Amino acid sequence: MLLLVQLLDVYSLIVFGSVIVSWIGLPPTHAVVGFLTSMTEPFLAPIRRVMPDMGGLDFSPMVLLIGVRMVRGLILSAALTY
């Protein structure tokens, strides 16, 4: 279970990296952008579809991070009860 928690922590860093790269403005053909997009878009795209338009601001990474942290907390609380 602790390995899963660590993987969720690494995934949180990947989501943060994706946000930072979007601020920097690397070209979409850059290898780092491709990796981060391939890791985050399968989860961000469905969130974007259900979120209302926020005037050009994308809050889907924040929603994803909150979800990841909630899952992480559930796993840790389940591990502590055993």
Provide the token pair at 28.
Answer: 């979409």
- Assess whether pLDDT exceeds 90 at residue 81: no
Taking a C-beta distance cutoff of 8 angstroms, is the pair 59, 47 a contact?
A: no
Name residue 25's amino acid. Answer: G
Per-residue pLDDT tens over the stretch 27-71: 999 999 999 999 999 999 999 999 998 888 999 999 999 999 999
**Residue carrying structure tokens 């259900």:** 50
Q: What is the CB neighbour count within 10 angstroms for residue 72?
A: 18
